[in-house]
Amino acid sequence: MGALKTLLRTRLLAVRSRRVLAPWLLVLAAGASFATAADTMLGQPAPDFALRSAGGPNVRLSEQRGDVVVLSFWSSRCNVCRAQLAELDRLYATYRPAGFVVFGVNVDDDVAAAREFASGQKLQFPMLLDPAKTVARAYRVDAMPMLVAIDRFGKVRYLSRNDKPTAAAEYVPALRTLIDE
């Protein structure tokens, strides 16, 4: 009888631990799927593109080889995008002489609204228009704002989809590291 009680107690503990562990296992399994398609771009060559600028000439990414390039994908309806663009403008003003280039890439369908937004921001770096979203698809943009940093050799080295007001504390050190390389 004692062996039966021990066996039942062991089984009961196993069932209880499965009930406790099962949700955590699901969380861990889901965590493995949090990595998105964009994350697979890290370390890969950045897809080349040519886009029209909202207030100037067309821009081709491959012409920026030798510089650290940041692509900030934004929408005129994204309030967090405004803050990120302003922070990137401050960085651009500081690090441009060190070979730091920033492009804001707009994904709005309405080009007129995008141009109006871009002109109202008074930014020093080019604002590019991607109404067909070909570049956004090539970079697997899945959130706004999304920041992509490309090293001097044309490889994607950093991605950020952080939409928190404190996001700059995360991406600024990463960008400075790339600039210093």
Q: Retrieve residue 158's tokens.
A: 């950093």
**Better-scored residue on pLDDT, 103 or 26:** 103
Q: How many angstroms separate the CA atoms of 134 and 154, rounded?
A: 19
Which pairing describes strands 68-74 and 146-150: parallel, antiparallel, or unpaired? Answer: antiparallel
Domain boundaries defined on the chain: 1-34, 37-180
pLDDT of residue 83: 86
Tokens 């994607």 sit on residue: 156
Indicate the fold that domain 37-180 takes in CATH: Glutaredoxin (3.40.30)
pTM of the predicted structure, to 2 decimals: 0.77
Query: What digits encode the pLDDT tens for the residues 102-125?
Result: 999 999 888 888 888 877 878 899
Q: Tell me: cis bond preceding 47? Omega within 30 of 0 counts.
A: no
% pLDDT > 70, the chain: 78
